[in-house]
Structure 1
C-alpha cells in the first residue's frame, strides 16, 4: 500500500472511530510502528488528527484531508478504470454534448472515450482537456478561471459564470465524499461552488466515484442524492448505500 493510500485509510478510520492505535494499525497493515507514526504526523499537519500517546484522535467531526492529484491517481486505480468503462456507455450519441468535472475517475473516463464519435465537451479540468485536445472528433471548450494546484482545475466566478450558460446532455460529476445526510461533499468551498454549477449545467447528472467515498462527509455539500440521475461505483459498495440511493430514485451501476 502506498503512503497516500495508508493516510487516506487512516483519515477515514478517524472519521468512523474517532481514535487510532499505532500498534494495532502497524500489525493490521504490516508496516512498522514508525511508518504509522509518520502517517499520523502528516494527518496532524493537515488538521485531521491530534497525536496522543500510542496513537491519535480525531480533531474534527468532518474530514478535511485533500490528497494532491498525483496521490489520488494511485488510490483505487483499478476500481476507477472499471467505473470509467461503465460511464463511457452513458456518453451521448454523435452530436451530443458533455460536461466533465475534475477528478481522477473522470480522467479515466476520458481515456475510454470512443475515438470516432463527434461530441462537444466542456470542462474546467486541465488534465482532461489535455487528453481531449488530441481527439479530432471532439469539439473542446476549456472553461476559464483560477487553476487550483490541488485539483488542476479552474474555479472561481469566471468558471461558474461559464457553466451558467450551458445545458448539456450529460454531466459526469466527481466527489470526495458521499452520505445520505450530507450528499456529495468536498473540503474546498470554491470547488463546491463550481460543482453546484456543474450539477445545474446538464439534463442528466452522472456521479462517478469508488465505494471508499461512501459514509464520508466533508465540510461543503454541493449536491444531494436527489440531484443525481445515475451513480456509477464499484462492487464493494454496501447494500445499504445502494438501497439508499435507489430509494431516492437514483439509478445505480456497480462496475
Structure 2
C-alpha cells in the first residue's frame, strides 16, 4: 500500500472511531508497526491527529457528513453568508461555484445579469438554468455524500478555464492548516478553482473555525472568508497573527 493510501485509511479509521491503537492500524493498513508509527508521527506533525500511548486520537477533526444532514445545519447563518456572497457577483462575471450546502443557498440571491457559472454541483444546475444564467457543468463521477462531481476530468477542465471569482465551500479553517476538507478529490477541485480565479471567496459559518480536516486546499491568505460573524475571535486572531499576511486578499466580508 502506497503512503497516501495508508494516510487515508488511518484518518478514516480515526475519524470513525475517534481513537485507534497502533495494532488496529497495522491490521487496517496491512503494514508493519514501524511503518504505522512513522505515519502517525508524520500526520501528527501536520496537526491531523494526536499521538497517545499505544495509538492516536483525533480532536475536533471534521468528518464527511451526508448532504441532507448538512443542509439543515446553521441554515440561518448559511442564508446570510449566501446573500453576502451573491452580492459580490457583478454583471458579466464568469464564476466558479463549488458544491456545498452554503453555496447552494446563493442561487436565489444572484441578481447580476449575463453571468456565466461553472460548477461541479449537481444540486445547483436546475436553479441556475431556471434563473437564466449560462451554466457549465463539469463532467465526472458524482459523489453521493456531497452531490459533487469529482475526478480527473474535472481537474483537467478547470485547468483550461479562468474565473473572475470563485465561491468555495469548506469544512474547517485553522490558523496553521488553512482551509481544509475531508476528501482528497474535492480538495484538488477547490485548490484548482482558487488558483484559476482573480478573486477567491471561501464561505464558512463560524462553526468551521479552529478546526481541521484531512486535506488542505489553500492557505488563509489565498482567499477571502465570507462569514456571518466578522468579529469572531478566530478572525481577530487571524488578522493579527504572524502567520497571516495583510492585504486585500484576506479581507473578511460582512453584511452591509
- Report whether the alignment pairs 1:241 with 2:235: yes
After superposition, the C-alpha distances for 1:90-128 in whole angstroms (9 at most, x for unaligned) are 102x222111011111001112111x6111110011111
Distance 1:145 1:237, change over 3 A: farther
RMSD: 2.4
Distance 1:169 1:127, change over 3 A: same
Does the 8 A contact of 2:81 with 2:226 survive in 1? yes
Does the 8 A contact of 1:63 with 1:217 survive in 2? yes
Q: Distance in 1 between matches of 2:123 and 2:95?
A: 16
Match of 2:80 among 56, 79, 82: 82
**SS of match in other structure, 2:96:** strand
Match of 1:95 among 92, 102, 105: 92
**SS of match in other structure, 1:140:** strand
**How far apart are 1:219 and its partner, in Å?**
1.2
* Corresponding residue for residue 119 of structure 1: 115
Structure 1: gaps (5+ residues): 1-43, 52-56
- Report whether the alignment pairs 1:183 with 2:178: yes
**How far apart are 1:64 and its partner, in Å?**
4.6
Runs of 4+ aligned residues of structure 1 deviating over 6 Å after TM superposition are none
TM-score by length of 1: 0.73
Q: Distance in 1 between matches of 2:100 and 2:157?
A: 19
TM-score by length of 2: 0.73
After superposition, the C-alpha distances for 1:27-80 in whole angstroms (9 at most, x for unaligned) are xxxxxxxxxxxxxxxxx99614359xxxxx983256252110001111000000
**SS of match in other structure, 1:65:** coil
Does the 8 A contact of 1:84 with 1:106 survive in 2? yes
**How far apart are 1:241 and its partner, in Å?**
2.2
- Report whether the alignment pairs 1:60 with 2:58: yes
**How far apart are 1:132 and its partner, in Å?**
0.5
Structure 2: gaps (5+ residues): 1-12, 21-51
**SS of match in other structure, 1:47:** helix
- How many residue pairs end up in the alignment? 204
